[in-house]
Amino acid sequence: MNDYRDVHNIKEYLRSKGINPSLQRIKIYQYLMEHRTHPTVEDIHADLVSEIPTLSKTTVYSTLNLFVSHGIVSKLMIEDGEVRYDINTKPHGHFKCIRCGRIFDIEISPSIFEDISVNGHHPMEYHFYIIGICKDCMEKGRDKFAA
């Protein structure tokens, strides 16, 4: 099991990865499954606190670190001081729109990675992202989604 799309029982899945499935951990994992928006810790906490009023940011931080260390979630560093999380651990790229701030997934064919010469180094993780203006913002020509 290496794809989040195959996870139907989160509790079982976390257990299979050696993670004790507490309520908070299940809800955070579920949130990432249902919100493929590459949320920040802030986003996740703000959205889940209505469901779990006692949820603290500390728990969100430690849960995400736990998920990353168990390889079931990956950390995204696109902009300075803005760490985001992605449940899709398969190699893919991201497109960040400078107008609306949204981040889109970009499919990348594995052959592209093979074509890149790594000068004899031993690659383990590939990261690729693009900064630009998304389709919607280009069409609308204004900051429809801006905060």
Instruction: Classify residue 52 by burial, with Cβ atoms within 10 Å: 0-12, 13-18, 19+.
Output: middle
Alpha-carbon distance of 139 to 101, in angstroms, equals 16
CB of 94 closer than 8 Å to CB of 103: yes
Binding mask 57-96 for DNA (x = CB under 7 A): xxx-xxx-x--------------xx-x-------------
User: Which of its own copies, DNA, none is residue 52 near (CB under 5 to 8 Å by kind)?
Assistant: DNA
Q: Which stretch binds DNA (CB under 7 A): 37-45, 86-94, 96-104, 105-113?
A: 37-45
User: Which of its own copies, DNA, none is residue 124 near (CB under 5 to 8 Å by kind)?
Assistant: its own copies
Residue given tokens 């203006």 in the structure block: 133
- Strand-strand pairing, 103-106 and 93-97: antiparallel
55 binds DNA (CB under 7 A): yes
User: Which of its own copies, DNA, none is residue 79 near (CB under 5 to 8 Å by kind)?
Assistant: its own copies
Q: How distant, in Å, are the alpha carbons of 73, 76, 121, 127, 131 from that of 116?
A: 25, 21, 11, 12, 21
Nearest distance in Å: CB 20, its own copies: 25
Instruction: List interacting residues with its own copies (CB under 8 A).
Output: 75, 77-80, 83, 93, 95, 97-98, 104, 106-109, 112, 115-135, 138
